[in-house]
Amino acid sequence: MSEPVGVVGAAAAARPYKIPRSVLVVIHTPALEVLLIERTDKPGYWQSVTGSLDADDEVLDATARREVLEETGIAQGELINWQQSNRYEIYPVWRHRYAPGVTHNTEHVFSLLVPPGTPVVLNPREHLQYRWLPWAQAAARCFSPSNARAVEQLPLRSPVQPLPEGQPP
């Protein structure tokens, strides 16, 4: 049985500490155009969809689908669990969201293949704007090293392989 989840201050009385297990979902089209979203709390910080588990027993795939829907409004697509995780130090600016003494997060990597032209509806409390970028440009724009590495792996992990140049569709 796990310890009860605590809270930070009266203003956050209804908001428990974040669980230091999260998902990273690289959303992309068959042409490997990657969706990046800009954080409201850190303008200029571009990323893929990320989010923590809501409960210790929440299934990772469910977390990934929930976060994609909450952050982008996207409810469709082929979700792939890469069976890959990254453990990283939580940036000090965001540590107050976690229980005292928690300094690291384990992030589970997914991709979501969506059709070209998939509409995106951002949650304005979380993100300012979005962009679809070719995978290499998207990787270069990600502020998080683990996010950039995931985007760089996309051509090898995508269930859709682009046709060789000059090949008819």
pTM: 0.84
First to last CA, the chain: 54
* Joined tokens for residue 70: 């909450």
pLDDT of residue 59: 97
Q: Which of 100, 74, 75 is nearest to 20 (CA)?
A: 100
Residues 6+ apart with CB under 8 A from 86: 24, 106, 107, 109, 146, 149
- Proportion of the chain above pLDDT 90, given as a percent: 80
Helical ranges in the chain per DSSP H: 60-72, 135-141, 145-157
Q: What is the pLDDT of residues 122-135, one digit of tens each?
A: 999 999 999 999 99
Q: Report the amino acid identity of residue 22.
A: S
pLDDT of residue 135: 97
Q: Using 50, 70 and 90 to split pLDDT, how confident is the model at 5?
A: very low
pLDDT averaged over the chain?
Answer: 88
* Joined tokens for residue 152: 């760089």
All structural domains of the chain: 16-157 (3.90.79.10)
Q: What is the pLDDT of residues 22-65, one digit of tens each?
A: 999 999 999 999 999 999 999 999 999 999 999 999 999 999 99
Can you tell me the distance from the alpha carbon of 36 to that of 71, in angstroms, rounded to the nearest whole number?
11
